[in-house]
Amino acid sequence: MNTRLLMISSAVVMGLAGLALTFAPDETVKALLIPPNMIISVVLQLLGACYLGFAMLNWMAKSALIGGIFAKPISMGNGIHFFAGAMAIIKVYSKTTMTPLLWSLLVIYTLYAVCFLYVGFTAPAEKKTAI
């Protein structure tokens, strides 16, 4: 699996989510049709900070050898994040109707969970070096 592409795409996705949640929490609350609340706004900003941290981690590790025992904390941290997120979205689905936003989040989270957990439990592909 091309881990460089995986790391770059996840960095971009989480970076965009992090920027939106950190710098526009009130607009995000309105878009999610949640009644405005100061506590929700602060929690969304903290979540945005976590997303920005993960985005920076993934961006800086894009050239690292990832898989098997190499960079295991990076692959497992991302894999567990996306797996737990997908499970949370499924839990919401069991209690309410799925909106197009939730469906797209579920697809994104499931794809990234599968990819990161696959990378974490398989050996990395050998890099070809020029002689």
Give tens-digit pLDDT for 60-103: 999 999 988 899 999 999 999 999 999 999 998 888 777 888 89
CA proximity to 58, closest of 41, 78, 35: 78
Residue 130 falls within a domain, yes or no? no
Could you tell me if 54 and 78 lie in one domain?
Answer: no
Q: Residue 70's beta-bridge partner residues?
A: 67
**Distance of alpha carbon 69 from alpha carbon 61, whole angstroms:** 15
**In which domain, by residue range, is 112 found?**
64-125
Give tens-digit pLDDT for 103-122: 999 999 999 999 999 999 99
Residue 79 falls within a domain, yes or no? yes
Could you tell me if 49 and 72 lie in one domain?
Answer: no
Residue 98 falls within a domain, yes or no? yes
Could you tell me if 92 and 40 lie in one domain?
Answer: no
pTM here? Answer: 0.87
Structure tokens at 66: 């990832």
**Residue at a domain's end among 11, 39, 63:** 63
Could you tell me if 68 and 112 lie in one domain?
Answer: yes
